């Protein structure tokens, strides 16, 4: 149903990122790369979930995921959320005023791919959303192949209660696989109690 | 499973709102109330979906919805999104470092209630997310009763291509029903092609 891909950020990243954040009106200072040593302080060896943190993630590194949402996915999400906005169920309604070519996938369902990447890959299991800003630029249609990506922009070590804890800032994007159009962009801030930043 | 309630904003709203947006670092200018005449330009009388727009929504008006997310809802959302972060499935993992009292509901699933309210009640059917900013302040636990609310803060008429179209700004909140704790807060901007602002 979906595929996970990890790769380093491309030279085109900076330009695309600028495009997004000019629209959002956000700005983040450029930082020099530093390594992050990721490890797991699991005090309970009997823990039911086995966690693997990737070592040596660097600022600028990117994780991506490809996906198509089916009509069944849209129905399932409407049942979960109660969001039966006809834009998601009625093609004729969605086409009125020339707005869309067909009914569209819920924006929040689309953005769930970013939660997937943050919570399972970058920065990974145990991440907790502190904040999320999203700009919805273009519609996502049923069965349209899209690619979600998160890029690690900053990692700040906090030292509360004697523990080193980390706040991650990731830039998020969702693009059309067919033509590369930017569909959704934003910034998320995530907290992680089990990762530690080692500045070099 | 959930209940819809509409009521005018309470005097306590302004204070609570300030609490949220001081944290978010966002600020919206205070506007004098004006009425919005809501009607539906449905050019297709055969449209399968019958839309009822409420008349006379005012700036400051609020729509709310109460809900509990079950363990099954969390599993269903993980299947849809692919987000199997163990914080949502493993109580012991979630309790590590004293972070949480138990496993938690996905933040994006919680925020879907705001999409529900915006897309079906305020401003209603046909609304399209342009942007969303969310601050996740406290965890939401499985079977915890929460109340989502959206308050209409601004409605701006745009006149593109000869049509009057509307951009709505809504302030969003999710609170614990038990103790009123603010769990999530934010701002959403929504577009609507079928509603018109009448300034008085």
Domain harbouring A115, CATH code:
3.10.129.10
* HEC string for chain B: CEEEEEEECCCCHHHHHHHHHHHHCCCCCCCCCCECCCCCCCCCCCCCCCCCCCCCCECCEEEEEEECCCHHHHHHHHHHHCCCCHHHCCHHHHHHHHCCCCCECCHHHHHHHHHHHHHHCCCCCCCEEEEEEEEECCCCECCCCEEEEEEEEEEEEEEECCEEEEEEEEEEEEEECCCCCEEEEEEEEEEECCCCCCCC
| Pairs of CB atoms within 8 A across A/B | 189
Does residue B20 belong to any structural domain of this protein? yes
Tell me which chain A residue has its CA closest to the CA of residue B50.
A86
Average pLDDT of chain A, as a whole number = 74
Does residue A36 belong to any structural domain of this protein? yes
Would the CB atoms of A129 and B116 count as touching at under 8 Å?
no
| Window B:102-121, CB contacts with A under 8 Å | 106-109, 111-113, 115-116, 119-120
Does residue B94 belong to any structural domain of this protein? no
Does residue B122 belong to any structural domain of this protein? yes
| Best of A67, A108, A138, A161 to mutate (most B CBs within 10 Å, chain B) | A108
How far apart CA A123 and CA A58 sit, in angstroms, is: 10
Which chain A residues are closer than 8 Å to B85 by Cβ? 115, 119-120, 125-127
Backbone angles phi, psi at A116, to 5 degrees: -55, -55
Q: Among partner residues B47, B87, B89, which is closest to A93 by beta-carbon distance?
A: B47
Most confident of A44-48, A193-197, B53-57, B99-103: B99-103
Do B33 and B13 share a structural domain?
Answer: yes
Q: Among partner residues A85, A129, A163, which is closest to B136 by beta-carbon distance?
A: A129
A82 vs A113, B60, B73, B118, B155, CA distance in Å? Answer: 19, 23, 12, 11, 24
Q: B167-177: per-residue pLDDT in tens? A: 889 999 999 99
Do B61 and B1 share a structural domain?
Answer: no
Do A6 and A40 share a structural domain?
Answer: yes
Residues near B24 by beta carbon (within 8 Å), at least 6 away in sequence: A131, B133, B135, B185, B186, B187
Does residue A34 belong to any structural domain of this protein? yes
Q: Among partner residues B80, B93, B132, which is closest to A112 by beta-carbon distance?
A: B80
Q: Among partner residues A51, A83, A99, which is closest to B120 by beta-carbon distance?
A: A83
Would the CB atoms of B126 and A77 count as touching at under 8 Å?
no
Give the confidence band of A59 by pLDDT, cuts at 50, 70, 90.
Answer: confident
Task: Count structural domains, chain A.
Answer: 2
Would the CB atoms of B93 and A51 count as touching at under 8 Å?
yes
Do A193 and A140 share a structural domain?
Answer: yes
Does residue A88 belong to any structural domain of this protein? no
How far apart CA A107 and CA B111 sit, in angstroms, is: 11
Do B43 and B63 share a structural domain?
Answer: no
Is pLDDT above 60 for A109? yes
Which chain B residues are closer than 8 Å to A96 by Cβ? 41-44, 47, 193-194
pTM: 0.76
How far apart CA A193 and CA A40 sit, in angstroms, is: 9
Do B128 and B48 share a structural domain?
Answer: no
Do A62 and A40 share a structural domain?
Answer: no
| DSSP code for A84 | -
Do B148 and B61 share a structural domain?
Answer: yes
What pLDDT does B123 receive? 83
Q: B54-83: per-residue pLDDT in tens? A: 455 678 889 999 999 999 999 999 999 999
What would the mean pLDDT of A75-102 be, rounded to a whole number? 92
Does residue B126 belong to any structural domain of this protein? yes
Does residue B97 belong to any structural domain of this protein? no
Q: A12-42: per-residue pLDDT in tens? A: 434 443 444 433 333 233 333 333 434 333 3
Do B25 and B37 share a structural domain?
Answer: yes
Do B63 and B20 share a structural domain?
Answer: no
Chain A contact for B196 (CB, 8 A cutoff)? no
What residue numbers bound the domain in which A160 lies?
Answer: 56-69+110-197
Do A23 and A65 share a structural domain?
Answer: no
Q: For each of chain B's 200 residues, which pLDDT tens digit applies?
A: 333 333 323 334 344 434 444 333 332 333 333 334 333 333 333 332 333 344 556 788 899 999 999 999 999 999 999 999 999 999 999 998 788 999 999 999 999 999 999 988 888 888 999 999 999 999 999 999 999 999 999 887 666 555 556 788 999 999 999 999 999 999 999 988 666 555 44
Do B65 and B16 share a structural domain?
Answer: no
């Amino acid at each position: 149903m979906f595929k996970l891909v990890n790769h380093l950020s491309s030279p085109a990243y900076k330009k695309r990122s600028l495009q997004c954040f000019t629209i959002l009106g956000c700005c983040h200072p450029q930082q020099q790369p530093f390594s992050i040593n990721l490890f797991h302080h699991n005090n309970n060896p009997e823990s039911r979930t086995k966690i693997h943190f990737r070592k040596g993630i660097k600022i600028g590194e990117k994780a991506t995921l490809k996906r198509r949402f089916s009509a069944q996915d849209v129905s399932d999400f409407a049942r979960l959320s109660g969001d039966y906005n006809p834009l998601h169920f009625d093609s004729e309604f969605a086409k009125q005023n020339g707005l869309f070519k067909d009914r569209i996938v819920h924006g929040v369902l689309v953005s769930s791919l970013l939660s997937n990447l943050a919570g399972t890959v970058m920065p990974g299991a145990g991440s907790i959303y502190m904040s999320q800003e999203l700009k919805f630029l273009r519609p996502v249609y049923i069965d349209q192949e899209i690619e979600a990506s998160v890029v690690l922009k900053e990692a700040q070590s906090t030292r509360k209660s004697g523990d080193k804890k980390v706040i991650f800032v990731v830039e998020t994007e969702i693009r059309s696989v067919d033509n590369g159009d930017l569909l959704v962009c934003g910034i998320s801030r995530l907290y992680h109690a089990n990762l530690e930043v080692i500045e070099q």
